[in-house]
């Protein structure tokens, strides 16, 4: 494994060290970043810069990391991908979600890969241990919004698109089962 990947994992772990996922297990945040990189790797994506960007994708949005810090340590290609994936947190949440759908069509190939991996990882988490306090409707709305974002990404990697679609369908079956009236 390229050393740069370990450095990216170490950097992201340090930056996210005080953050937890919103699941009932309060999973350390870094588990999510590592899972996104693993999802890409599992479908045959080995590009070091893309995998580094997957590990680092939430550092600028959710920690005190600056784009300059990323480009100094990991180069401008990696920081460029991370910045493509960084939402403007000064905007209201609904507007940010709308912009993700709209801007998905402009993503570079590498940023599109990480974006799809991110959505798959979040959908897996919703199926296995959803964020505390999320209703079934909200969980399902996340899946539908993710589908809208991903469908606007151009030139998708076939294997990754297949994993996204399978996870989406698994979620829909899961929600239908949970909604079924108990006998
Ligand atoms: Zn993420």
CATH code: domain of residue 25:
1.10.3210.10
- The residue range of the domain holding 144 is 3-179
Which residues sit opposite 20 in a β-bridge? 28
> In 3-state terms, what secondary structure has residue 176?
helix
Q: Quote the ligand 1 centre to 118 CA distance (angstroms).
A: 5
Angle between helices 93-103 and 136-151 (to 10 degrees): 30
How many domains, in total, are found in the chain?
Answer: 1
- In the chain, the percentage of residues whose pLDDT exceeds 70 is 100
Q: Is 62 noted as a catalytic residue in this protein? A: yes
pTM, entire model: 0.97
Q: What is the DSSP string of 57-122?
A: TTHHHHSS--HHHHHHHH-HHHHHHHHHT---TTS-HHHHHHHHHHHGGG--HHHHHHHHHHHHHH
Could you give the 3-state DSSP secondary structure of residue 18? coil
Task: Decide: 123 and 142 in contact? Cβ < 8 Å.
Answer: yes
Which one from 61, 69, 77, 161 is the annotated catalytic residue?
61
Compute, in angstroms, the gap from residue 183 CA to the centroid of ligand 1.
38
Q: pLDDT, tens digit, for every residue of 114-170?
A: 999 999 999 999 999 999 999 999 999 999 999 999 999 999 999 999 999 999 999
Neighbouring C-beta atoms of residue 150, cutoff 10 Å:
21
58 catalytic residue (yes or no): no
């Amino acid at each position: 494994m390229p050393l740069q990947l370990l450095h990216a994992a170490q950097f992201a772990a340090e930056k996210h060290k005080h953050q937890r996922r919103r699941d009932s297990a309060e999973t350390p945040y870094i588990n999510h970043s590592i899972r996104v990189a693993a999802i890409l790797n599992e479908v045959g994506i080995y590009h070091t810069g893309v995998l580094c960007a997957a590990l680092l994708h939430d550092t600028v949005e959710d920690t005190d990391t600056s784009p300059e810090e990323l480009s100094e340590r990991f180069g401008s290609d990696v920081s460029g991908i991370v910045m493509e994936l960084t939402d403007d947190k000064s905007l209201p949440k609904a507007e940010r979600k709308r912009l993700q759908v709209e801007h998905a069509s402009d993503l570079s190939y590498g940023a599109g890969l990480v974006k799809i991996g991110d959505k798959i990882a979040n959908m897996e988490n919703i199926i296995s241990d959803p964020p505390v306090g999320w209703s079934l409707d909200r969980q399902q709305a996340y899946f539908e919004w993710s589908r809208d974002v991903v469908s606007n990404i151009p030139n998708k990697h076939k294997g990754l698109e297949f994993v996204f679609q399978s996870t989406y369908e698994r979620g829909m079956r899961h929600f239908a089962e949970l909604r079924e009236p108990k006998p």
